[in-house]
């Protein structure tokens, strides 16, 4: 069955750049979406498609896709970016998939 693979954790110094990756065969055919989840809160969308970012999400978050890998890049990370980030996509059966989540720590 299809799956999306994310690294479990990544850290970044305040103000530096960090990239979170997501790998899976479904990404060759479907654009991913990315969600941020802070402790005790529901997930929220931060990026989707080629360049779709909700208005309330700062433009220091951006996404890209190449082959079977999607990336979420945070340029100039801030303390409020600390959270768990999930990628998601559909697969060829019509189901949806989530990655395992990447915990971002801002040092």
Partner 1 sequence: QVQLVESGGGVVQPGASLRLACAASGFSISNYEIHWVRQAPGKGLEWVSLSWYDGSAEYYADSVKGRFSISRDNGKNTMYLQMNSLRAEDTALYYCAREVGDDSRGFYYEHFDHWGQGTPVTVSS
- Residue 100 sits in the site that holds partner 1 (CB under 8 A): yes
Contact 16, 89 (CB under 8 A): no
CB-wise, 18 or 33, nearer to partner 1? 33
| Binds partner 1 by CB under 8 A, chosen from 7, 10, 21, 44 | 44
Please report how close the Cβ of residue 14 comes to partner 1 at its closest, in angstroms. 26
- Residue 67 sits in the site that holds partner 1 (CB under 8 A): no
Please report how close the Cβ of residue 33 comes to partner 1 at its closest, in angstroms. 4
Contact 82, 11 (CB under 8 A): no
CB-wise, 19 or 52, nearer to partner 1? 52
Q: Which of 106, 95, 15, 30 is nearest to 65 (CA)?
A: 30
Q: Where are the alpha helices (DSSP H) in the chain?
A: none
- Residue 93 sits in the site that holds partner 1 (CB under 8 A): yes
CA–CA dist 32, 34 (Å, integer): 7
């Amino acid at each position: 069955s299809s799956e999306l693979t994310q690294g479990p954790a990544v850290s970044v110094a305040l103000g530096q750049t960090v990239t979170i990756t997501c790998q899976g065969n479904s990404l060759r055919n479907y654009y991913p979406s990315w969600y941020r989840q802070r402790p005790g809160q529901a997930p929220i969308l931060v990026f989707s498609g080629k360049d779709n970012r909700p208005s309330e999400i700062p433009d220091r978050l951006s996404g890209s896709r190449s082959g079977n890998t999607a990336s979420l890049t945070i340029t100039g990370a801030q303390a409020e970016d600390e959270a768990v980030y999930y990628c998601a996509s559909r697969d060829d059966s019509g189901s949806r998939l989530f990655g395992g989540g990447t915990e971002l720590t801002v040092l």
